[in-house]
Amino acid sequence: MYSSLPKVLHRLGGKPLVSWVAEAAMAAGIKKIVVVIGFKGHLVKRVLEGYPVDFVWQKAQLGTGHAVRRAYPKLKNFSGTLLILSGDVPAIKPRTIQKLAGFHQRQRAFATVLTARWPDPTGYGRIVRSKSGDVLRIVEHKDATPEELKIREVNTLTIAFRVPPLFQLLSQIKNKNAQKEYYLSDVIALLRKKNKKVSALLLKDLIEAQGVNSREELAKLRKFFEK
């Protein structure tokens, strides 16, 4: 973002990005919201002051899997559906969150990935499926083979998991990848190895999956919000 401000605090439609996500979760009826904070997290806490959320710190930036593990103390007594939302994907709608949770529960899945088909999937994790259409794994862009890079169906970074199995598996993921990070998406392959059900729900409205990783992407979303 070429900015000293945490990415999730850049403003869109009069509010920080993370506020849109928190409010969507609240409107969807989510009972408990845990916000993982890191870089200049005290500023994020200040922005979300008054919201019904708990905070946990991720001091070392070791990836999405590590971030979710940091939330375990707040969720160790929880059993049910845990939704992972990204603070830099602000256009997600409450009804989409509800639809994902409901679909996940009806499927009796251990994980359900909200996917999208991008015209240009550069930068996104690809959804690798079997010939019969089953989700096998998610491969991050930097780790994908030339053949996998041709896949247009991607991980939107919004995933429903069954808890407590998720936290048991998070301790098994490795950081043997291009970025030396613990990827939350690696849990999908672990579930498949254990013959646990993984589902996917295709998102039709691509704007809901639009993340913000640059000023250009923020400008694109700003035009949508202005409409």
pLDDT digits (tens, 9 = 90+) for 145-173: 999 999 999 999 999 999 999 999 999 99
Nearest by Cα to 107 from 36, 146, 160, 149? 160
Question: What local confidence, expressed as pLDDT, does residue 77 receive?
Answer: 95
pLDDT at 157: 92
pLDDT value at position 90? 97
Cβ–Cβ contacts within 10 Å for residue 95, how many?
11
Q: Render the burial of 160-171: b for 16+ CB within 10 Å, e for the rest.
A: bbbbbbbbebbe
- Determine whether domain 7-226 maps to CATH 3.90.550.10: yes
What predicted TM-score, i.e. pTM, was given to this entire model? 0.94
Q: Exposed, middle or buried by CB within 10 Å (0-12, 13-18, 19+), for 226?
A: exposed
pLDDT value of residue 132? 87
In the prediction, which pLDDT does 17 show? 98
Preceding amide of 164 cis, omega within 30 = yes
Average pLDDT over residues 214-221: 94
Whether 227 shows a pLDDT value over 90: the answer reads: no
Average pLDDT estimate for 80-85: 98
**176-194 per-position pLDDT tens digit:** 998 999 999 999 999 999 9
In angstroms, rounded to a whole number, what is the distance separating the alpha carbons of residues 54 and 206? 29
* Residue 187: per-residue pLDDT: 97
pLDDT digits (tens, 9 = 90+) for 17-60: 999 999 999 999 999 999 999 999 999 999 999 999 999 999 99
Q: Decide if 148 contacts 136 (C-beta within 8 A).
A: no
State the chain's mean pLDDT as an integer. Answer: 95
